[in-house]
Amino acid sequence: MAVDKGLLSGGTTLMILKLLEERDMYGYQMIEELARKSEEVFNLKAGTLYPILHGLENEGMVSSYDDHADSLRVRKYYHLTDKGRAQLKDRQTEWTRFSGAINRVLGGGVSYAGN
Amino acid sequence: MQATERIQAYSKTVCDQVRWKKAHGMIAEEIENHLVDQRDAYIAAGAPEDEATGRALAQMGDPVDIGARLDRTHRPKPQWSMLFLTAALLLAGLVIRLVIVRSGWDRELPVQLLAMAAGLGLMAAAYFADFTLIGRHPKTFFVLLMAAALTAALLSPLLNGRRYYAEFMTLLFPLGFSAVIYALRNKGYRGLIACCLAFLLPCLMALQVPTVAGLLLFAFCGFALLLLAIVKNWFGVSKLFGGLIAAVPFAAALLLVSRMFGMRLTAVLDPFADPNGYGYFAIAIREMLASARLLGPGAPLPADTAQLLRSPMTDTTQLLANLIHSAGWLAFIAVMAVLLLFAVRGFMLCARQKSVIGRLIAMSVMLTFSAQVFGYVLYNLGYPLMDPISLPLISYGNAAMMINLFLIGLMLSVFRTGDVARDKSGGVLKRQSPIAWADGKLIISFSRK
């Protein structure tokens, strides 16, 4: 199933931050993990991911380091900083409010029936 | 085209869009790694190599578009705030020396301005230079620096029994030592002990000048750099034992100057015990400060102390005390505020450095800067524990001015381009084992590093 791009763009950064909340990852891992978690709904292009990651690093939301934990090749791992963690919390709240509002509109105001 | 070549051509197209060339290596490596991972995943799923490569490239997206977006993120950071603060310190120095506190001693203004211009030239050269060069040849850098210090000591004229120019070379010793730490990191206790031995060389050099201030400056900065390396686990040794080992050469350095320093300390604690000897400056400076006002010129000084206002030390070692006396404490507070801003901002930016070499170089410069300020302020507040080398960029001294500007330029070069700096042999990584287990395969590497 393909998802409308406009809807996705705001959420991409949020999802990247969320993935890194669990553990440090390199780019390829993030794309795989995102596809797996979203049951293949989100097939994020690597070309979209890296500019976002580098931008987040510039803003101090994530930091990076080189490691070769499970391979001979050196990989660039990304780590969520405290600033990034705070940003994730804010964005998550914002997203919940936004998606909740959409759901209520789509649901035809059923939840307000009793008010 | 071969699969590998296709991948390289793709990453080159991405990099071609990024105007800042220093970022290319880092971007290319990440993109190529990703493409190889993706291609291998397709091959593992049964696709032939050619098709797998094509699909991996298609999955990545349009290289020009990615490159253009990365170009917006990767720009050198000019560090305007630090450049502005440097200019403010230089200007404050000129105003204080030429307008507020005039030494009355023969200082040739054209020579001072020429030295400042030369210093700014050195600063600009260091600012645009590739600081990772020091990381590529750390041992050579240290040896050359020591040779230069020795040459300066041999050629320098003697002034009050001191090899005059050689004293200023000690300002470069912490930088040289940071290169030694970089070269010997990842080598465990052996590396740390070698660092400790190397620590003694600049100390002995300083002793030959002889300069207590230079030796103490190096000892404190060098010890702080060693502790940083131990705490950051760059040597891979226990923090407690490592710290204890690092304390040995530091204690030895303090021991070397203990006799000299002890006499100064006694004089500072009770200057009137030796009012015409070591206590003299402590008394004179305290008198200057006691007669100072909050703003404006202080009350007239006793004849003995007033003489000091026309001595060559007026704008070299005693500039701040004179400033406080001639313009008031508020002027002193203003100067200290700029110095403090410089230090706070500088250390903050040091902490952001990701590469070990960038961190070490920037820290060595900030420590050298702070140690000079500390020693100078201590002296000028009536605690002359040593003759301070310089108040960076403010007090009179052409050699110190040029060296400090060069150091600041080098540090700003780290702040400007440090984001893309990479450490030699993969930074602080564990040394690569020739036998490794990866992706379910046993890999034996015969390549020599």
B46-50, B279-283, B373-377, B441-445: least confident range = B441-445
Q: Could you give the percent of chain B with pLDDT greater than 90?
A: 66
What's the CA gap between B388 and B390, in Å, rounded?
A: 6
Q: Which residues lie closer than 8 Å to B196 by C-beta, 6 or more apart?
A: B226, B245, B246, B248, B249
What's the CA gap between B191 and B252, in Å, rounded?
A: 19
CB contact under 8 A, A47 and B66: yes
Topology (CATH) of A9-103: Arc Repressor Mutant, subunit A (1.10.10)
With 70 as the cut, is the pLDDT of residue B318 above it?
A: yes
pLDDT class of B446 with cuts at 50, 70, 90: low
Structure-model confidence comparison of residues A10 and B154, the more confident one: B154
With 90 as the cut, is the pLDDT of residue B142 above it?
A: yes
pLDDT, mean of residues B197-215: 93
Chain B neighbors of A45, CB-CB under 8 A: 59-61
SS3 assignment, position B291 = coil
CB contact under 8 A, A27 and B436: no
At residue B4, the pLDDT reads: 83
Structure-model confidence comparison of residues B157 and A112, the more confident one: B157
Chain B neighbors of A50, CB-CB under 8 A: 27, 30-31, 34, 66, 70
CB contact under 8 A, A71 and B66: no
With 70 as the cut, is the pLDDT of residue B233 above it?
A: yes
What's the CA gap between B394 and B342, in Å, rounded?
A: 13
CA dihedral B90, B93, B97, B100 (to 10 degrees): 120
Chain B neighbors of A68, CB-CB under 8 A: 426, 429, 432
CB contact under 8 A, A51 and B73: yes
DSSP label at residue B108: -
Structure-model confidence comparison of residues A68 and B412, the more confident one: B412
Q: List chain B domain ranges.
A: 3-74, 80-418
Q: CB-CB: which of B61, B65, B439 is closest to A71?
A: B439
Which chain A residues touch B if contact means CB-CB below 8 Å?
26-28, 45-48, 50-51, 54-55, 58, 63-68, 70-76
CB contact under 8 A, B34 and A27: yes
With 50 as the cut, is the pLDDT of residue A113 above it?
A: no
With 90 as the cut, is the pLDDT of residue B78 above it?
A: no
pLDDT, mean of residues B408-418: 95
Chain A neighbors of B31, CB-CB under 8 A: 46, 50
Structure-model confidence comparison of residues A43 and B152, the more confident one: B152
Whole-prediction pTM? 0.83
With 90 as the cut, is the pLDDT of residue B67 above it?
A: yes
- pLDDT tens-digit profile of A49-81? 999 999 999 888 998 888 876 667 788 899 999
Q: Which residue of A has its CA nearest to B438?
A: A71
pLDDT class of B246 with cuts at 50, 70, 90: very high
With 90 as the cut, is the pLDDT of residue B404 above it?
A: yes
How many Cα atoms occupy the beta-carbon half-sphere of B129 within 13 Å? Answer: 17
pLDDT, mean of residues B286-297: 91
pLDDT, mean of residues B296-318: 82
Which chain B residues touch A if contact means CB-CB below 8 Å?
26-27, 29-31, 33-38, 59-63, 65-66, 69-70, 72-74, 354, 419, 422, 426-427, 429, 432, 436, 438-439, 443, 445
As beta bridge partners, residue A75 has: A67
pLDDT class of B236 with cuts at 50, 70, 90: very high
- pLDDT tens-digit profile of B386-399? 889 999 999 999 99
Q: List chain A domain ranges.
A: 9-103
CB contact under 8 A, B66 and A63: no
Hey, of B7, B26, B32, B34, which one would you mutate to test binding to chain A, going by the most A CBs within 10 A of its CB? B34
Q: Which residue of A has its CA nearest to B73?
A: A55
CB contact under 8 A, A72 and B66: no
Report which of B250, B266, B192, B189 is spatially closest to residue B216, judged by C-alpha positions.
B250
What's the CA gap between B79 and B81, in Å, rounded?
A: 5
pLDDT class of A8 with cuts at 50, 70, 90: low
At residue A9, the pLDDT reads: 61
Both tokens of A32, joined, read: 């795989």
At residue B419, the pLDDT reads: 82
pLDDT, mean of residues A27-34: 92
Q: Indicate the average pLDDT of chain B.
A: 89
What's the CA gap between B384 and B320, in Å, rounded?
A: 13
What's the CA gap between B435 and B444, in Å, rounded?
A: 5
Q: CB-CB: which of A46, A58, A76 is closest to B61?
A: A46
Q: Could you give the percent of chain B with pLDDT greater than 70?
A: 93
Q: Which residue of A has its CA nearest to B14?
A: A47
Q: What Cα–Cα distance (Å) separates residue B355 from each residue in A64, B234, B359, B428?
A: 11, 11, 6, 9
Q: State the helix-helix crossing angle for B173-184 and B212-231, rounded to 10 degrees.
A: 30
At residue B426, the pLDDT reads: 41
